[in-house]
Chain A
């Protein structure tokens, strides 16, 4: 094999342009299953599992083979490779710029929390306590008091808020941090969706009035909607969580809920909480207002995580691999020369360069795949697997006719485009692809929402892998009861949210589960 490679090199006078450190070596790789056990098996380079046949295995396969994730020796922890990390960076850049405009500032609080601080907010710690990882030793010495690793930073930050906030002029205090958190869960880990360590941003803000807090909750939720709908092309439903599902210790939680049709499960996309004065009471965060009276501050916290990437993969990916929305794709266009034996390869390279430059000048993210050790067909599959939205093929006929062939990743439509129109057409196609991905996803999602009035219809829809919109009495016990009655293989049904957009609730409508008068419509489903 090596001498062959050598000869090719000598013939073409080119070196493999593998400079970016291609994450896919030309050899079979061993796969590691999520449970942490190593399974040595020979696998083909492309996808072997079909999305509709075995969604779980399909997902595990696509995130690894596309080069997004690498499994790791610590169960539930994953390596985010550049192909996925770059997406995180796009979203980070967007969100960071937006919150800066709002006057929110970035900061960094410690990773470690003392037990004392962690247990301050009773409800809160009951929510997170079972999932905390503890540092018990340093080097060979046992620590006198074990120290926790942040599962979220309320208990790290709020004691300091109490110190910084004295008077109304110290308000509003609006901070954010981009960091990693650890939640030692035992539920089935899934790359991006549920991992023991993940990256996120957490915003923590304090206000003098509830009105200000309420307003910010809405503004941030809208940013989360944009991330999903405008960047990741994933439709979400905005709503408020039930008392059972809201953030442990908060006043109310607003959420953007997505839905994975293949599994019939809802997934919490991102949350924006109003903590009310619950935490300020516990952490004694008072301020003196302009009348000299002492009040507790009103607080919010809000976060989105690397989970968003998983949702995008699940919604758009297909049997060939990832399908990346152009707005977040690291590589939006890949240019592949199609060489022929009698054609001067340098001429091909020149043609590729020319097109690449045109596209780059138009602000597009382009890559040329001129590796000489792979045939074009292999490259097509490889970049399809990686989900690159647009492929441009340049063969000898194309050079002759001064055109290129463009192929869309989302619907595989091909078209020949004259050279002088190449930049404009590529940009237009990328916009079309972005819009098309969202449109298709929304159509599918909309079909997955079933509106019901009765328990029987509710169960039927649930078993049909749907989200169910049902009139509800908004009672904690009733929700717990529904959960108990619907325990199944894919988990019990719960409220995903009470959508902001409520359909008409005719007078006298009763709750589908309890028969009591219905207060509002709630979206129910099994969930991640």
Chain B
């Protein structure tokens, strides 16, 4: 569905911690059509407040629940320090908002959605993520619990790639969103919200990119295979172009996203660099000799140099298609595996604050048992720049002692500098 972009300021003020959390970042419209507006309007930073305002009107009984809606929209947060995709003044996202009759259902929904995000990151974007729960300090302003997927970028900083919040009854109490349960009692609804944004594109760039430029996972690459015809004479040009077009059409028919770069102003070498920079996973080269042999040369973006080149690949449509599909999958898997090794080799298990400081200073992530207070957590941030990324769902079997306070700790937490 679609909720309006403008939120009356009074809405935002209704949920105390929400307004506190977002207030400095709100873009306010005060003039419209040449006139000063009666009430200043906020350009949505997120839509919980409007959603609740409407949920209050739409939800009356348990039969109206669960109510689940989603919207794909732009949001605005007047950030101080911006970075393309990762932190921008305006960005695109989807935000889902659900209302439930019970706490259990809401919790289940929140967990279900973070799993959807995890699946996308891992299977489509080839980004390994750690799924976990945010610390109280890091939880969404107004939520009871925030779940997150945390990814490690090429510079080893953490990127929060998607979040799912169990809002409990915080917003429903602030907005009086109630329902008549099956026992005839008025109850506040239990809610969730969850979002993933264009920040994910930044994540893809920073996880896989290298010195040659972008490296796009085949599942998401707009162009999966670029075909470069190579010729010297006009006679060669005709046959080579015909072959290139034929290969393109065959692959396209089978659902491969492919493009022929037949422009005459650039040399093949230039084109190789260009499409590598654009991160296209596979390149097919066709020269006169290839045409004669009915073969093509296939190069992988993820393996540089000669090792990534495969010669004499049959031009026969079904053979080439199977080959291309197999290679695309290999690239996808390879990108993922490299990212996993990179990440795993850059997480250190720590058992003391000193260890943590060393790990963070070395640019790594630190993982250790944690039972510290909010103040302890804030101290770590102040002294090292690292924040708790999450308490991972995957926990070691044995508990330990908090590396900072030495109290008994039930869980390990992951600390890192982040975007």
The size bracket of the interface on A is: 35 or more
Q: Is B341 an interface residue (CB 8 A)?
A: no
Q: Is B400 an interface residue (CB 8 A)?
A: no
Which residues in window 153-184 of B have CB below 8 A to A? 180, 182-184
Q: Which of B50, B58, B265 contacts A25 (CB 8 A)?
A: B58
Q: Is B409 an interface residue (CB 8 A)?
A: no
Q: A136-B28, A139-B25 are in contact. Are A79 and B63 (CB under 8 A)?
A: no
Q: In the complex, which residues of chain B have a beta carbon less than 8 angstroms from the beta carbon of A26?
A: 60-61, 63
Q: Is B308 an interface residue (CB 8 A)?
A: no
Q: In the complex, which residues of chain B have a beta carbon less than 8 angstroms from the beta carbon of A139?
A: 23-26, 28, 78
Chain B window 103-136, contacts with chain A (Cβ cutoff 8 Å), 1 for yes, 0 for no: 0000000000000000000000000000000000
Q: In the complex, which residues of chain A have a beta carbon less than 8 angstroms from the beta carbon of B184?
A: 1-3
B41 x A111 contact (CB < 8 A): no
Complex Cα distance, B32 from A144, in Å, reads: 18
Q: Which of B25, B32, B60, B66 contacts A27 (CB 8 A)?
A: B60
Q: In the complex, which residues of chain B have a beta carbon less than 8 angstroms from the beta carbon of A263?
A: none
Q: In the complex, which residues of chain B have a beta carbon less than 8 angstroms from the beta carbon of A112?
A: 76, 89-90
Q: Which of A2, A18, A146 contacts B182 (CB 8 A)?
A: A2
B6 x A70 contact (CB < 8 A): no
Which residues in window 4-30 of B have CB below 8 A to A? 4-8, 11, 23-30
A18 x B63 contact (CB < 8 A): yes
Q: Which of B8, B43, B58, B60 contacts A149 (CB 8 A)?
A: B43
Distance in angstroms from A139 CB to nearest chain B CB is 4
Distance in angstroms from B112 CB to nearest chain A CB is 15
B25 x A82 contact (CB < 8 A): no
Closest B residue to A185 by CB, please name it: B33
Q: Is B138 an interface residue (CB 8 A)?
A: no
Closest A residue to B79 by CB, please name it: A138
B26 x A77 contact (CB < 8 A): no
Which residues in window 1-48 of A have CB below 8 A to B? 1-3, 5-6, 9, 16, 18-19, 21-23, 25-27, 29
Q: In the complex, which residues of chain A have a beta carbon less than 8 angstroms from the beta carbon of B28?
A: 135-139
Complex Cα distance, B33 from A9, in Å, reads: 54
B41 x A74 contact (CB < 8 A): yes
Interface size counted on chain B using CB atoms at 8 A:
52
Q: Which of B26, B61, B68 contacts A21 (CB 8 A)?
A: B68
Q: A27-B60, A79-B3 are in contact. Are A5 and B53 (CB under 8 A)?
A: no
Which residues in window 70-85 of B have CB below 8 A to A? 73-74, 76, 78
B4 x A135 contact (CB < 8 A): no
A19 x B66 contact (CB < 8 A): yes
Closest B residue to A135 by CB, please name it: B27
Q: A130-B33, A135-B29, A169-B265 are in contact. Are A140 and B64 (CB under 8 A)?
A: no
Complex Cα distance, B6 from A312, in Å, reads: 26
Chain B window 344-362, contacts with chain A (Cβ cutoff 8 Å), 1 for yes, 0 for no: 0000000000000000000
A137 x B30 contact (CB < 8 A): yes
B61 x A79 contact (CB < 8 A): no
Q: In the complex, which residues of chain A have a beta carbon less than 8 angstroms from the beta carbon of B67?
A: 21
Chain B window 21-60, contacts with chain A (Cβ cutoff 8 Å), 1 for yes, 0 for no: 0011111111111100000110100000010011001111
Q: Is A184 an interface residue (CB 8 A)?
A: yes
Complex Cα distance, B57 from A6, in Å, reads: 24
Q: Is A289 an interface residue (CB 8 A)?
A: no
* Residue of B1, B41, B92 with most chain A CB atoms under a 10 A cut-off: B1
Closest A residue to B30 by CB, please name it: A136
Q: Is B270 an interface residue (CB 8 A)?
A: no
Complex Cα distance, B78 from A24, in Å, reads: 37
B25 x A74 contact (CB < 8 A): no
Q: A29-B57, A74-B41 are in contact. Are A81 and B1 (CB under 8 A)?
A: yes
Q: In the complex, which residues of chain B have a beta carbon less than 8 angstroms from the beta carbon of A146?
A: 31
Complex Cα distance, B33 from A132, in Å, reads: 5
Q: Is A197 an interface residue (CB 8 A)?
A: yes
Complex Cα distance, B6 from A78, in Å, reads: 10
Q: Is A179 an interface residue (CB 8 A)?
A: yes
Q: Is B397 an interface residue (CB 8 A)?
A: no
Which residues in window 137-173 of A have CB below 8 A to B? 137-140, 146, 149, 169
Distance in angstroms from A115 CB to nearest chain B CB is 12
Complex Cα distance, B183 from A3, in Å, reads: 7
B63 x A16 contact (CB < 8 A): yes
Complex Cα distance, B32 from A75, in Å, reads: 12
Q: Is A340 an interface residue (CB 8 A)?
A: no
Complex Cα distance, B183 from A16, in Å, reads: 15
Complex Cα distance, B63 from A1, in Å, reads: 13
Q: Is A134 an interface residue (CB 8 A)?
A: yes
Closest B residue to A6 by CB, please name it: B182
A197 x B25 contact (CB < 8 A): no
Closest A residue to B179 by CB, please name it: A25
Q: In the complex, which residues of chain B have a beta carbon less than 8 angstroms from the beta carbon of A373?
A: 63
B74 x A180 contact (CB < 8 A): yes
Q: Is A199 an interface residue (CB 8 A)?
A: yes
Closest B residue to A29 by CB, please name it: B57
A130 x B34 contact (CB < 8 A): yes
A21 x B66 contact (CB < 8 A): yes
Q: Is B2 an interface residue (CB 8 A)?
A: yes
Complex Cα distance, B59 from A22, in Å, reads: 10
A2 x B180 contact (CB < 8 A): yes
Q: Which of A19, A70, A133 contacts B31 (CB 8 A)?
A: A133
A22 x B64 contact (CB < 8 A): yes
Q: Which of B32, B43, B54, B76 contacts A79 (CB 8 A)?
A: B54
Chain A window 78-110, contacts with chain B (Cβ cutoff 8 Å), 1 for yes, 0 for no: 111110010010000000000000000000101
Q: Is A182 an interface residue (CB 8 A)?
A: yes
Q: In the complex, which residues of chain A have a beta carbon less than 8 angstroms from the beta carbon of B33?
A: 130-133, 184-186
A-B CB proximity, top 8 nearest: A2-B184, A184-B32, A184-B33, A138-B78, A77-B4, A139-B24, A80-B2, A21-B67
Interface pairs (25), CB distance under 8 Å:
A2-B180, A16-B63, A18-B64, A21-B67, A22-B63, A22-B64, A70-B54, A70-B58, A73-B11, A73-B53, A74-B41, A88-B2, A110-B90, A111-B90, A112-B89, A134-B31, A135-B27, A135-B43, A137-B27, A138-B24, A138-B26, A138-B27, A139-B24, A139-B26, A197-B6
Give me the interface of B with A, judged by CB distance under 8 Å: 1-8, 11, 23-34, 40-41, 43, 50, 53-54, 57-61, 63-69, 73-74, 76, 78, 89-90, 92, 180, 182-184, 263, 265
New contact pairs (6) apart from A21-B65, A25-B64, CB-CB < 8 Å: A73-B8, A73-B53, A133-B29, A139-B25, A180-B73, A197-B5
